Amino acid sequence: MKATWIAKFFLMGVVALAAIGAVTMLLWNWLVPTLFQGPIITFWQALGLLALTKILFWSFGKGSYNRHRPWGYRWKQKWENMSPQEREQYKARMKEKWCSWEEKQPNSPNSNV
């Protein structure tokens, strides 16, 4: 029973990948040569383009990057519970720690040299 579900899932994945590759190839070959005088691509090149876009633009996790930051909620709660004076002190400490390079540059408009 379990092997049947695995086989069906695998088969549906292969069919979905083939369909997405075919649609990518057809759209590319319909638009790019006409609009940009680009090359006509094959099915395998279309799958390669999909893999490249996956690497460059999509996330590899289970959803977007912003959803999987457990510290984000805690940080937001902490920030909201700070008084305005505590926030300003925190900003000043972060500026000292992370923005001190601006002061060390000799041609910087913020430097006193």
**What CA–CA distance (Å, rounded) separates 42 from 48?**
10
Structure confidence by residue, pLDDT tens digits, 72-113: 778 888 888 999 999 999 989 888 888 866 555 556 555 554
pLDDT for residue 41? 95
pTM of the shown model: 0.50
Domain ranges of the chain: 2-58, 75-104
pLDDT for residue 101? 64
Q: Are 28 and 41 in contact (CB under 8 A)?
A: yes
**What CA–CA distance (Å, rounded) separates 41 from 32?**
10
Structure confidence by residue, pLDDT tens digits, 10-44: 999 999 999 999 999 999 999 999 999 999 999 99
Q: Are 78 and 71 in contact (CB under 8 A)?
A: no
Helix residue spans in the chain (DSSP H): 2-36, 43-57, 70-81, 84-98, 101-104
pLDDT for residue 65? 52
What phi and psi values does residue 20 have, to the nearest 5 degrees?
-65, -40
